[in-house]
Structure 1
Amino acid sequence: MIVRPAEPADAPALNILFEQLGYPDQVTESTVARIRAWQADPSSTAYVADAGGNLLGVVAVHVGPYFERTGNWARVVALVVAEDVRGQGVGGRLMAVAEEFAAAAGCARIELSSSDRRTEAHAFYEGRGYVNQTGRSSWFRREVARR
């Protein structure tokens, strides 16, 4: 298995991974456009775990500057590992690459969110040293009308 930057040709396989995570009805052309947008943005990156052309997982991470203090922070916006290889080290390899990207960007911290029902994922993150912030802060979301 190698970990490499995501490419537009990966879109169909990535869509299968996204569906496994609960994001159905992916459109290949839209996924290609998102990959290209991430490739063009130096503050963002996406890597795939590739086993001879079979994509086993993907991680996407974005870096941004703090507004209220000096420094940068990173956010893992997606981590998906194929259902049939979970628990075999793929997620760890992908997270290591995301953490290296964050460190190279001078980030003070890396964060992510995970659905309450994904308890196995929570144990994975805690095993990597991530601290569950539930109870310390709340997460809010609102849809924004597109113009």
Structure 2
Amino acid sequence: MMIRTATAQDIDPIVALLMDDPLGAKRENPGDPRYTAAFAAIAADPNQVLAVADADGEIVGTLQITFTPGLSRIGATRATVEGVRVRSDQRGNGLGQLLMEWAIKEATTRGAAMVQLTTDVSRTEAHRFYERLGFVASHVGMKLPLQA
């Protein structure tokens, strides 16, 4: 198992991971050209890391980290983890923990003051998973959709 930065060849497997989930199955659209444009923007931005868990050429997990410099907390940088997915046949074997430990190490290496994430309120198993890793539900997240 290797965790590495995603390449353009990983787009379709990543989208498949995003869809391998009750919420993602409703909002993803395989083959849509917007994924390629989004990947290009992510790859060009030094404050973005799109990572995959690669098991002998098969993509079995993914996550994205966004590094946000800010003035609050005395100029702290926050690492926000999003899009954490483990392929359904790989869940329960520690891969999610490996991915998150990798993300935390990456955040530490880049000097982030904290790692934060959001998780849908319906994902109660994910909440327990993140709490086991030391995350605390400290804020209320809000979203305002701007596109259909």
Normalising by structure 2, we get a TM-score of 0.87
Residue aligning to 2:144: 142
Matches of 1:25 and 1:40, distance apart in 2: 23
Matched pairs, number: 143
The one-letter amino acid of 2:53's match is A
Once superposed, which parts of structure 1, at least 4 consecutive aligned residues long, lie more than 6 Å away? none
User: What's the RMSD between the two structures over aligned residues?
Assistant: 1.8
1:10 corresponds to 2:14: no
Q: Is the 8 A contact 1:9 1:32 kept in 2?
A: no
1:32 corresponds to 2:20: no
Cα deviation code 1:75-115 (max 9, x no counterpart): 00210111111111111111122112211221111110111
Unaligned runs of 5+ in 1: none
> Which secondary structure does the structure 1 equivalent of 2:52 belong to?
strand
Normalising by structure 1, we get a TM-score of 0.88
Matches of 1:128 and 1:110, distance apart in 2: 11
Q: Is the 8 A contact 1:58 1:80 kept in 2?
A: yes
The one-letter amino acid of 2:76's match is G
Unaligned runs of 5+ in 2: none
Of residues 87, 100, 114 in structure 2, which corresponds to 1:82?
87
The one-letter amino acid of 2:99's match is L
> Which secondary structure does the structure 1 equivalent of 2:113 belong to?
strand
Cα shift at 1:66:
1.9
